[in-house]
Chain A
Amino acid sequence: MSAASIETTTPTVPAMRAHAIHAGYPGVPVLHGVSLQVLSGEMLAIVGPNGAGKSTLLKVLNGSMIPTGGTVELFGKSIVSIPRRDLARTIASVGQENAVAFRFTVLEIVLMGRAPHLGAFHFESPHDLEIASSALDRFGLLHLAGRHIQELSGGERKRVFLARALAQQPRVALLDEPTAFLDLKHVAEILARFRELCVDAAMAVVATMHDLNAAALYADRVLLLKDGATVAYGTPAEVLTADHLQRVYETDVYVGRNPSTGALMILPAAIAAPTRNFAD
């Protein structure tokens, strides 16, 4: 029926909970019993090497892949029982592939995020336009509203897709590598914007990341995956330890604290491998 049919108000019910997920492609199992939960207002980072199953896990969480085992619950309701359009009003996903066919404008792309809220013959109302423009504004894209999506840089395009997800007004955002290929400034800005959404709009955010320092800075919880299984799951300080990371990434890792902020700081250390001479 409507988004209201998915109860989103009880704070004790996690926005999203996955239990013992097994999933994969025909003949290729990818995930082996992964569990997680994320509360409204929380950001969960999923980290791990390439091929650990991060993107597959997101596909299971957004309902586009049916797990071979385990359950996914959205605000306490099994995700398989929720109609597609209701799901689209509650969960917004941004994948890694963001190719667009045909010359749509940036505003048109962001307004597509309103589709799950509109009937077949409804035009976007001033209210929908306001939502789209504030989503564009949040990612600093308002000046590009009338440009064709093909004319934008990769980083700008990425932000357009994040703005489209925002225009869906979701309770849960599932982001696959939202900061890949972005420069330092935009990595910080995008993650800060989603942090704001956690705080201001009680959004639950799940994001896969390669950047461990970004995960340490912005995420409330971190899930560390290797070969489709959970290595560690908890707060950044609990998960992002030298021991865990060396085990998962099979390289030497230094974990310390940023002397000026006290934030967790992860660096490749390469103790065993030859490096430059740092004596000077």
Chain B
Amino acid sequence: MSATPAASASAVAPRHDLSSASSTHLTRARLVSVLTALTILLIASALIAVSFGSAHISLVRAFTDSASPDHAIFYGARLPRVLMGIAVGAVLAAVGAALQALVRNPLAEGGILGISGGGALGAIIALVMFARLGGGEATVPLCAFGAALLSTVAVYRLALVDGQLEPFTLLLVGVIFNAFWGAAIMLVNSVVNFYYAHSILFWLMGSLEAPTYREVEIVAGLGLVGFAVLMYHARDLNLLSLGDESAAELGVDVDALRRLIFVATSVMIGAAVSVSGIISFVGLIVPHMLRLAFGADHRLLLPASLIGGAAFMVFADLVARVAIAPAEIPVGAITALCGGPFFIFMLRREAKRPFSL
């Protein structure tokens, strides 16, 4: 009933049916189809991974003859190894996606920001100290979590300049933290006895060697708790892309959200690091690929990273196991060999045109 011609024109203008164009925004149907496809990919990669290894085994015999060596290799080595790959990959990729949203930087990642390094130092100190004094099995992941949280908060605080988070300053602070934690770990390595030296090397390289079912349970359990927190705030993470101020004006308690995500991601990284050491770049490569393919909405990106990260890690670990069999490459070396060039490519892209990918 407006008198202005512009208003009446817009009132009779044909409505574009946006609901049919699902590529322009996230719909429940798209969420379900993408996650289903990724789950199929994960199952396929897990099946391939349990079928191959340095020893040739028959899956049929493994399932039917519990006295056979095939059975022992399958349940004792292959299965826990693949399950651990699933748990660690899922955790690292989901954490990467959440941290990127929080700092509005697609190059952020637990390994790159030095958070995994802090967690590893915490785990090592716990291992060395409490193995002598005695402590529960929770001590190592707990110390890894504490140290990861400390690293997260420190890196974030130190990268803030006049209340602004400058993207490249953040990455540089991460680089320095990595170097610092690496040096601290080497220091611990040189003062403890030889018995621990292998474990410490293992943490520095990042490996899924010889996990127990109990370790899988710990990573999966803590990972899922942390992931539930991230998922509950998926929409808030979308709003953070508009900037802290705009997010607050849309109803997000930004400071509380940041604290919560810091704790959740530190729990997840602490759990992953305490069993597998520093595996970098998974949290960078996986969310980036998925964002490119399926869009930036975190309600899809977070669960997609969880499943996609699991599949990626299972594949990377398969390569680590079979490439130079019977010897093994630490899986952290595989991910870094892929991730290094990938990071440089993205860094140059971001420097030229931010968020052009």
A interface vs B, CB < 8 Å? 62, 64, 84-85, 87-89, 91-93, 95, 97, 99-109, 111-113, 115-116, 118, 120-121, 123-124, 126, 129-130, 132-134, 137-138, 142, 145-146, 150, 168, 189, 192-193, 195-196, 199-200
Which one of B6, B235, B253 contacts A118 once the chains associate, using CB atoms below 8 Å?
Answer: B235
CA distance A126 to B19 in the complex (A): 7
20 contacts between A and B (CB under 8 A): A84-B248, A84-B252, A88-B251, A93-B249, A95-B245, A100-B242, A102-B101, A102-B296, A103-B295, A104-B241, A108-B25, A124-B25, A129-B18, A129-B19, A132-B18, A133-B18, A146-B24, A150-B353, A192-B6, A193-B6
CA distance A189 to B27 in the complex (A): 32
User: Are B250 and A113 interface neighbours, CB within 8 A?
Assistant: yes
B interface vs A, CB < 8 Å? 1-2, 4, 6-7, 10, 13, 15-16, 18-19, 21, 23-28, 100-101, 104-106, 232-235, 238-243, 245-246, 248-253, 291, 295-297, 353-357
Interface of B is mostly: loop
Given A118-B235, A120-B232: A146 and B297 interface contact (C-beta under 8 Å): no
Chain A: minimal CB distance from B317 (Å): 29
Given A103-B357, A107-B24, A107-B25: A64 and B243 interface contact (C-beta under 8 Å): no
User: Are A102 and B241 interface neighbours, CB within 8 A?
Assistant: yes
CA distance A123 to B7 in the complex (A): 30
CA distance A150 to B357 in the complex (A): 10
Chain B: minimal CB distance from A117 (Å): 9
User: Are B250 and A107 interface neighbours, CB within 8 A?
Assistant: no
Given A120-B233, A196-B7: A100 and B250 interface contact (C-beta under 8 Å): no
Whose C-beta in chain A lies nearest to the C-beta of B21?
A146
Chain A: minimal CB distance from B316 (Å): 25
User: Are A150 and B250 interface neighbours, CB within 8 A?
Assistant: no
Contacts of A84 in B (CB 8 A): 248, 251-253
Which one of A111, A137, A145, A200 contacts B13 once the chains associate, using CB atoms below 8 Å?
Answer: A137
Whose C-beta in chain B lies nearest to the C-beta of A101?
B104
Interface of A is mostly: helix
Which one of A103, A138, A168 contacts B355 once the chains associate, using CB atoms below 8 Å?
Answer: A103
Whose C-beta in chain B lies nearest to the C-beta of A89?
B251
User: Are A97 and B235 interface neighbours, CB within 8 A?
Assistant: no
CA distance A196 to B241 in the complex (A): 30
Whose C-beta in chain A lies nearest to the C-beta of B253?
A84
User: Are A100 and B15 interface neighbours, CB within 8 A?
Assistant: no
Contacts of B239 in A (CB 8 A): 112, 115
Contacts of A93 in B (CB 8 A): 246, 249
User: Are A196 and B2 interface neighbours, CB within 8 A?
Assistant: yes
Which one of B21, B104, B354, B355 contacts A145 once the chains associate, using CB atoms below 8 Å?
Answer: B21
Q: Which 3 A-B pairs have the closest CB atoms?
A: A88-B251, A101-B104, A102-B296
CA distance A130 to B19 in the complex (A): 9
Which one of B19, B100, B232, B250 contacts A88 once the chains associate, using CB atoms below 8 Å?
Answer: B250
CA distance A195 to B7 in the complex (A): 10
User: Are B250 and A138 interface neighbours, CB within 8 A?
Assistant: no
User: Are B295 and A108 interface neighbours, CB within 8 A?
Assistant: yes
User: Are B291 and A103 interface neighbours, CB within 8 A?
Assistant: yes
Given A87-B251, A95-B245, A112-B238: A105 and B25 interface contact (C-beta under 8 Å): yes
CA distance A120 to B105 in the complex (A): 24
CA distance A196 to B3 in the complex (A): 9
Contacts of A85 in B (CB 8 A): 251
Given A118-B235, A123-B27, A146-B24: A104 and B250 interface contact (C-beta under 8 Å): no
Which one of A62, A102, A121, A200 contacts B2 once the chains associate, using CB atoms below 8 Å?
Answer: A200
CA distance A133 to B101 in the complex (A): 26
Which one of A97, A116, A195 contacts B250 once the chains associate, using CB atoms below 8 Å?
Answer: A116
Which one of A97, A146, A195 contacts B23 once the chains associate, using CB atoms below 8 Å?
Answer: A146
Which one of A91, A95, A132, A134 contacts B246 once the chains associate, using CB atoms below 8 Å?
Answer: A95
User: Are B10 and A97 interface neighbours, CB within 8 A?
Assistant: no
Whose C-beta in chain A lies nearest to the C-beta of B232?
A120
Q: Which of A103, A134, A193 has the most CB of B within 10 A?
A: A103
User: Are A137 and B21 interface neighbours, CB within 8 A?
Assistant: no
Chain A: minimal CB distance from B224 (Å): 17
Contacts of B245 in A (CB 8 A): 64, 95, 97
Contacts of B25 in A (CB 8 A): 105, 107-108, 111, 124, 129
Whose C-beta in chain B lies nearest to the C-beta of A121?
B232
Which one of B16, B233, B249 contacts A64 once the chains associate, using CB atoms below 8 Å?
Answer: B249
CA distance A107 to B295 in the complex (A): 12
CA distance A64 to B104 in the complex (A): 21
User: Are A108 and B16 interface neighbours, CB within 8 A?
Assistant: no
Contacts of B18 in A (CB 8 A): 107, 129, 132-133, 145
Contacts of A200 in B (CB 8 A): 1-2, 7
CA distance A37 to B357 in the complex (A): 45
Which one of B243, B353, B355 contacts A102 once the chains associate, using CB atoms below 8 Å?
Answer: B355
Contacts of A92 in B (CB 8 A): 249
